[in-house]
Structure 1
Amino acid sequence: MVASPAFAEFLREQLAPLGRITMRRMFGKTGVFCDGVMFGMVTDNTFYVRVEDQNREIFKEAAASPPLNYAKRGATIDLAFWRVPERLFDEPDELAVWAQAALAAAHRVAAKRAGPSAPARKSRASPAKRRNSP
């Protein structure tokens, strides 16, 4: 399930110090973006953050819960998003530290995917809008 409107607004308020927080439905879940970079996901009003090798130690408390996953061909596929402990919603400064670490990880993952010779990203503007721009 996607994030409820109330939970989405709560996250926007809590994460606002990071930058422009937006959310978008994705695969039956809600992607959490900061300035266009996805660093978190929400399902059933549970917040998950991006984890990779460089920030795994920061999130060791989250390793106690299963990562965000989905079923594919009868197998469970774990994603690189770990559940944020509920206690952090009462600790906005610590939640910000976790979110900043997840955002940094998301930037590193995006950079690896893009690679050094990747072409520049195309604008998401509609074709009609692109035709009308100077």
Structure 2
Amino acid sequence: MDNAGIEEMFQGLGPVTVKRMFGGKGIYHLGRIIALEVRDEMLLKADETSAPEFAAAGATQWTYEGRKGKPVKMPYWSIPDEAYDDPDLMAKWVRLAYEASLRADR
């Protein structure tokens, strides 16, 4: 996704900064990372508070194969499909990602 598309996706939250990282992109709001684009998939930050809501909406947690073939779960989740067609719903999910980034500093 190009940067203009990413900015549009996050417009319900406010301005974002996009930085290249890990062969993908990191998306930041007010200096805090809130999302990653990895292999053309947008993943939103979640934590123990918001992850159950992502799971209930059918989102999947990002995992990668770690040492000895064990899966490593990362604090990033896919965006529920219906949010792509509904700007208000997308705004809800990106706000949850920002809130998770705020809690990470506590």
TM-score, structure 2 normalization: 0.84
Once the two structures are TM-superposed, the CA of residue 35 in structure 1 deviates from its matched residue by 1.5
Once the two structures are TM-superposed, the CA of residue 16 in structure 1 deviates from its matched residue by 2.1
Task: Find the structure with the greater CA-based Rg.
Answer: 1
What's the C-alpha RMSD, in Å, of the aligned pairs?
1.7
Among 86, 89, 97, the alignment partner of 2:92 is 97
TM-score, structure 1 normalization: 0.68
Q: How many residues are aligned here?
A: 104
Aligned match of 2:25: 30
Aligned match of 1:61: 57
Among 69, 81, 85, the alignment partner of 2:76 is 81
CA deviation map 1:74-123 (0-9, x unaligned): 322110111002321111100100110110011111x13xxxxxxxxxxx
Structure with greater proportional strand content: 2
Q: Which runs of 4+ in 1 moved over 4 A?
A: none
Among 15, 22, 30, the alignment partner of 1:20 is 15
Structure 1 gaps, min length 5? 113-134
Aligned match of 1:44: 39
CA contact (8 A) 1:70 1:76 kept: yes
Tell me the secondary structure at the aligned position of residue 98 of structure 2. helix
CA contact (8 A) 1:58 1:98 kept: no
Tell me the secondary structure at the aligned position of residue 26 of structure 2. strand
Structure 2 gaps, min length 5? none
CA contact (8 A) 1:47 1:83 kept: yes
